[in-house]
Amino acid sequence: MKIGMNMLLWTDTPGTEHLHLLEDIKGWGFDGVELPLDDLSEDMARLYAGELQRLGLEATGIVAMPAEKADPISSDRKLRRCAVEYMRSCIDKAHILNASVIAGPLYQGLGRFSGMGPTSMEKERCVEYLRETAPYAGEKGILLAGEAINRFETYFVNTVEQACEIIDQVDSPYVGIHVDTYHGNMEELDVCRAWRAAGDRIFHVHISENTRGIPGTGNAVFPEIFETLREIGYDRWLTIEGFGKSSRELAARLHLWRPFAERDEDIAEKGYAYIASMIGAE
Ligand code: LER
Ligand code: MN
């Protein structure tokens, strides 16, 4: 398994002023960096690709499309078309970055609630959009991993079982699920049992503490998580997701208001040490 660090700790729009962080991330021991793709320009992706290559770091991408711009499950056909275009553009940026996977809650636009649970029509729309998007991702050598997130952020896919229901219908080798310990802690009765049931359909993992602070210091990240992943033969990314003092825009959309560690860097540095000790990495 490889250990990655999500840049959302510092920003949701990586720019030249954040490039220096890649050197720190490398120094702390990480294998790769997860970049928010939503507002990243192709030029910026090129700049980051060069720096990542220079430092010997790999990339993964994360998307969180705002429902007012694009929404694959909307009753508005235009927003559904926008979602396909949105993902194609993210795939292009991920390709520039040489990223292996695009993760995140890509089943739906974020920030819109219907007042009820998912309907069968919404599920059909989601499956259709992923079927349309998957071949383009495959062509570019990129996997799509849809994240199950908690009920306060979406009404559509909250659990691993719901995520599996969608991707089983999509039935593409390029589409799997993305699990996150923070969301699992809120939505699953037993996170490890849910992950075992998903097995090799898990394409991406976020290691995120129940506070969104330092992994290994709370209730959501514990040794059995790593044992379970080993048991199911998971050999992809373990990416730390935490939010710091400066990643304000997405953090506000996710209702994250207070600092979660004394120093933002502790989430990365101490989190890395904890995960490395769990998986026996150096
Ligand atoms: C959202 O809560 C989340 O976990 C992220 O991976 C994507 O925004
Ligand atoms: Mn996550």
**For residue range 171-187, what is the model confidence (pLDDT) as tens digits?**
999 999 999 999 999 99
Ligand 2 center from residue 249 Cα (angstroms): 15
**Ligand 1 close to Cβ of residue 201 (< 6 A):** no
Name 164's Cβ contacts closer than 8 Å, sequence gap at least 6. 177, 197, 198, 201
In this structure, what token pair is assigned to residue 79?
């927003």
Q: What is the Å distance from ligand 1's center to 180 Cα?
A: 8
Entry pTM: 0.97
Q: Look up 188 and say whether it is catalytic.
A: no
Handedness of CA 24, 262, 3, 157 (dihedral sign): negative
215-247 pLDDT, tens digit per residue, is: 999 999 999 999 999 999 999 999 999 988 776
CA of 267 to the centre of ligand 2 (A): 14
What is the model's pLDDT at position 282? 60
Measured between alpha carbons, how far is residue 275 from residues 202, 215, 258 in Å? Answer: 18, 8, 24
Mention every residue, 6+ apart, whose C-beta is less than 8 A from residue 248: none
Mark whether 147 is an active-site residue.
Answer: yes
**What kind of fold does domain 2-279 have according to CATH?**
TIM Barrel (3.20.20)
**Closest CA to ligand 1's atom 8:** 64
Question: 110 CB less than 6 Å from ligand 1?
Answer: no
Span 20-40, pLDDT tens digits: 999 999 999 999 999 999 999
* Catalytic residue of the set 58, 147, 153, 187: 147
Tokens 């997405």 locate to 250
Quick one: which atom of ligand 1 is closest to the CA of 178? 6
